[in-house]
């Protein structure tokens, strides 16, 4: 569905934060919404804990409200 673009990357020792822009076309069911064929663009912040060359923890926060509005699932 999407292309990922890293907009910003911050590294502080073992902590890494990344701001991604996601872009794509809604071609499959997603969070209960059947495919719409609509294009979407929204942000995700990823937080990683790194040990050596391994990611040991990861957490993500995405702008689901913006994505669902673009899909027409929530009124603007």
pLDDT value for 75 = 86
pLDDT at 30: 87
Composition of the chain by helix, strand, coil, percent to 5: 10, 60, 30
pLDDT < 70 stretches in the chain: 1-2
CA distance 50 to 43: 22
pLDDT of the residue at 10: 98
Q: What is the pTM of this model?
A: 0.79
């Amino acid at each position: 569905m999407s292309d990922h673009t890293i907009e910003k990357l911050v590294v502080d020792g073992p902590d890494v934060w990344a701001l991604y822009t996601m872009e794509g076309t809604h071609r499959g069911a997603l969070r209960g919404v059947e495919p719409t064929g609509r294009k979407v663009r929204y942000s995700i912040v990823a937080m990683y804990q790194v040990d050596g060359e391994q990611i040991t923890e990861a957490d993500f926060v995405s702008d689901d409200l913006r994505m669902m509005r673009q899909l027409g699932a929530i009124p603007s």
